[in-house]
Amino acid sequence: MKRGAILFAFNTEKFNYYEMAEYAAKRINHFLKLPVTIVTDEDSYPEDTEYVWDKVIKITPDKNNTRVWGTWINKGRWQAFEFTPYDETLLLDVDYIVNSSNLLKIFDFYDDFCCHNTIDFLMQPNAEQEKISHYGYNSLWATVVAFKKTNKVKNIFNCMKMVQNNYEFYMNLHSFNTGIYRNDYALTIALSIINGHLTDNRDFIPWNLLHIGSNTQIYKSNKDELDSEFTVTFDNWQRGKIRKEYITINDLDFHVMDKELYVGIIENEK
Amino acid sequence: MDIKNLLTESKARFNHNSAKAYLAEKFKSKLILAEQGGLWKADAETISLLNSFTSANLVLIDTFNSPVKVDRQQLLEKLQQTYDTTMEQWYTEWKEIENKR
């Protein structure tokens, strides 16, 4: 059984996602000892890179998704199933920082598909779980997905494609209006359809996906690229003033939602 | 800017509650393990239950809510070992945080 990770990275006018992917890949190699495949495009892939990918897959991405800060090229994630060269794959967002070997545990217990269904925020514990709408499903998270190449999983990814292609219909059906396509919501709807609108706990990773959320900053504690210690600061607003608080963390994976912060981590190590 | 300078200049305070929550988050995931076809949490409840029986085999409900027939002694040893290692690490890191008071 060959195991590996797959990342999708397409540069936009604002962010260099390829650079983020390379940073993520080095940490996957180091902490999980897994090879990494990248799905990218000609414009994003720098020919002079020294990083050795297990496989580079260049495609023409769908750039038809816009956020406030610009284009967000996140469509086509369903293609992970056909692109992965591995029997068992970890599909990760490039802004998910692997900082421990914890994800390897998934290979020991999952049937053929697994993702996060619960989240928490560092420095802001006991966060409410996100729902796709006020009376809709709890959102699942496409940030970390583990899968095998089975028929069920093929159906899940095909269903994600169907949801992506008919996103407006599903927005109306489930009463959410994000304005942008989100893989998290497509996965939530697809998995629900495939499971006959029932919940199967075996599809979920039994610990929280940890976000670095609003008013929170994260810095490497030192310049060693593969060191696992980070310092997290939080702007705690009290009576109109900010009280800055901090903790240090190590041996714990997390998801950096703010891309500027992620870029800051990478830049700081140069 | 160096992180130590940043913390000093912004007069940042160490937040014990957040640090405690972070440790709980980290070590709870480390207490989870897959064994004998089930997914288990190496917690006091499961270890006590395994200890309270004498039979060689036992059916337990795992964390996925599936009944799994297990070799009791083998699972007990594995859970105790995971519990011991993880809790020792948790305690060590907790003491480091306590010393920051």
Amino acid in position A38: I
**Interval B19-31 mean pLDDT:** 95
The answer, for A235 touching chain B at a CB cutoff of 8 Å, is no
**pLDDT tier at A69, thresholds 50, 70, 90:** low
- For residue B35, the 8-state DSSP code is E
Q: Which one of A108, A232, A233 has the shortest CB-CB distance to B34?
A: A108
Q: Is the pLDDT of residue B98 over 80?
A: yes
Stretch (H or E) spanning B60 = strand B57-61
**Interval B14-42 mean pLDDT:** 95
Helix, coil or strand: residue A198? coil
**Interval B58-87 mean pLDDT:** 97
Query: What is d(CA A126, CA A140) in angstroms, rounded to the nearest whole number?
Result: 17
pLDDT at A74: 86
pLDDT at A163: 96
- Most A CBs within 10 A among B7, B15, B46, B97, hence the mutation to make, goes to B15
**pLDDT tier at B101, thresholds 50, 70, 90:** low
Angle, CA of B68, A87 and A255, to the nearest 5°:
80
pLDDT in tens, A198-249: 999 999 999 999 999 888 999 988 878 888 999 999 998 888 888 999 999 9
Q: Do A233 and B12 touch (CB under 8 A)?
A: yes
pLDDT at A65: 72
pLDDT at A68: 65
pLDDT at B11: 85
Helix, coil or strand: residue B49? helix
Query: What is d(CA B44, CA B49) in angstroms, rounded to the nearest whole number?
Result: 8
**pTM score:** 0.94
Name the residue of chain B whose CA is nearest to A229's CA: B3
Residue A50: strand pairing partners: none
Secondary-structure breakdown of chain B: helix, strand, coil percentages, each rounded to the nearest 5: 55, 20, 25
Q: Which one of B15, B33, B63 has the shortest CB-CB distance to A245?
A: B15
pLDDT at A136: 82
Contacts of A111 in chain B (CB under 8 A): none
pLDDT at A178: 74
Which two three-digit tokens encode residue A146?
């583990």
Contact A36, A7 (CB under 8 A): yes
pLDDT in tens, A147-205: 999 999 999 999 999 999 999 999 999 998 877 899 999 999 999 999 999 999 999 99
Q: Do B30 and A233 touch (CB under 8 A)?
A: no
The answer, for B85 touching chain A at a CB cutoff of 8 Å, is no
Query: What does pLDDT average to over chain A?
Result: 93
The answer, for B21 touching chain A at a CB cutoff of 8 Å, is yes
Q: Do A234 and B15 touch (CB under 8 A)?
A: yes
**How far is residue B16 from each of residues A46, A212, B27, B81, B98, measured CA to CA in Å?**
44, 18, 16, 28, 8
Compute the residue count for chain A: 270
pLDDT at B1: 62
ipTM: 0.91
Look-up of token digits 């076809």: B37
Q: Is the pLDDT of residue A267 over 90?
A: no
pLDDT in tens, A95-144: 999 999 999 999 999 999 999 999 999 998 777 899 998 888 899 999 99
Q: Do B19 and A247 touch (CB under 8 A)?
A: yes
Q: Which one of B18, B21, B34 has the shortest CB-CB distance to A109?
A: B34
Q: Do B3 and A105 touch (CB under 8 A)?
A: no
Q: Do B18 and A243 touch (CB under 8 A)?
A: no
Q: Is the pLDDT of residue A251 over 90?
A: yes
Q: Which one of B6, B25, B32 has the shortest CB-CB distance to A206?
A: B32
**pLDDT tier at A71, thresholds 50, 70, 90:** confident
Contacts of B11 in chain A (CB under 8 A): 244
Q: Do A231 and B7 touch (CB under 8 A)?
A: yes
